[in-house]
Structures are given as structure tokens and as C-alpha cells.
């Protein structure tokens, strides 16, 4: 499966439903209001009215799908998903969406012992205590394999 398909699968079913309702609702409004009340638009051919009504709602539909994606992605990353979704929706001009993509946390990693999800910066699993990365024997901070001394306390590794 491609990476794009994996990311699209993060959008919850409710998000797809809301986006579809936004699209269909805006088409109905555009066909009912401006196409029937504006004298210049009433002179348009039927195909032009249909094209107008079908293309205008696309940006708002994409905006709704992006908000739903942010909900699913923030939830996967262990972030405050409802807060980030609301920020993405209510901060104008797409700035909330941009902020999310700039400030989002890295993906969670899973413990090899118990399978619990945690942040990638953890040296030990908070659930079972298993070492996730090599650690200094004195200060217990994570170190990289191949280092000869701890950069935090100077102990020999």
C-alpha cells in the first residue's frame, strides 16, 4: 500500500461524511440561490450552472478533509487531537493547518517488550521499564551506541 493511501486511511468515517455533506449542501445552495435569483446567471446554459455549482464547493470540502486528517493524525501521535482540530478549523486562512504541520510531534514508538506506545525520546518504557535505547549506567540518560563517554555526566560507557 502506498504512503498516500495509508495517510488517507487516517481520516475518520465521520470526517468523510462531513466533507460529503459540505459538498452536497453547497451544491444545493448554489443551484437554489444564485442560479435561480441572479438574472445574469439565469441566462447561463445548464452545463455552465452545473460546472459552477460543482467546482465552487471543492476548496471547502478539501478544508473539511484536512481538518479530519488532523484529527486522525494528532490522535495517532498522542497529541491533543480535539484541540488541534479546533485550531485548524477556527484559525483563519489555513494558518491553523500550517501550524499543525509545523508543530506536530513525531510518531510514537512501541516498546519491544510490552508493546506500549510512547514518545521516541524516552530511554525506558514507562509501563514495563525495559530499556528502549542504550543508557548511561550512572545518570541513566540515553546515549548513542559507539559513544565512549556520557555527554551529560562524563561517565565511561
Please give the Cα distance from 118 to 153 (Å, whole number). 25
Calculate the CA dihedral of residues 64, 67, 73, 75 and round it to 10 degrees. Answer: -120
Q: In 10 A of CB 73, how many CB atoms?
A: 20
Quote the longest CA-to-CA distance of the chain. 84
The answer to whether the pTM exceeds 0.85 is no
Are 57 and 22 spatial neighbours (Cβ–Cβ below 8 Å)? yes
For position 141, what pLDDT does the model report? 82
pLDDT, mean of each 10-residue run, the chain (157 residues)? 91 97 96 90 92 95 96 94 96 95 90 84 82 82 85 87
| pLDDT of res. 31 | 92
H-type helices in 33-57, by residue range?
Answer: 34-37, 39-42, 46-55
pLDDT at 83: 96
Lookup result for grid cell 513525531: 106
Do the Cβ atoms of 35 and 42 come closer than 8 Å? Answer: yes
Tell me whether residue 133 is exposed, middle or buried, using C-beta atoms within 10 angstroms of its C-beta: 0 to 12, 13 to 18, 19 or more: middle
Place of cell 561517565: 155
In whole angstroms, give the CA distance from residue 147 to residue 49.
Answer: 68
Residue-level pLDDT at 17: 97
Give CA–CA dist 124/110, Å, rounded: 11
Residue 134: the pLDDT is 81
* Nearest by Cα to 94 from 58, 54, 59, 53: 59
pLDDT at 30: 94
Amino acid at each position: 500500500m502506498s504512503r498516500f493511501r495509508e495517510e488517507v486511511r487516517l481520516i475518520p468515517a465521520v470526517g468523510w461524511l462531513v466533507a460529503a455533506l459540505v459538498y452536497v449542501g453547497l451544491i444545493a445552495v448554489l443551484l437554489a440561490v444564485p442560479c435561480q435569483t441572479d438574472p445574469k446567471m439565469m441566462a447561463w446554459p445548464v452545463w455552465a450552472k452545473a460546472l459552477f455549482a460543482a467546482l465552487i464547493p471543492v476548496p471547502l470540502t478539501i478544508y473539511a478533509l484536512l481538518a479530519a486528517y488532523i484529527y486522525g493524525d494528532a490522535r495517532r501521535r498522542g497529541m491533543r487531537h480535539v484541540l488541534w482540530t479546533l485550531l485548524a478549523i477556527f484559525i483563519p486562512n489555513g494558518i491553523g493547518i500550517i501550524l499543525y504541520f509545523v508543530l506536530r510531534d513525531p510518531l510514537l514508538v512501541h516498546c519491544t517488550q510490552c508493546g506500549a506506545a510512547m514518545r521516541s525520546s524516552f530511554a525506558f518504557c514507562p509501563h514495563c521499564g525495559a530499556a528502549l535505547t542504550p543508557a548511561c549506567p550512572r545518570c541513566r540518560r540515553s546515549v548513542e551506541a559507539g559513544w565512549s563517554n556520557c555527554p551529560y555526566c562524563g561517565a565511561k560507557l
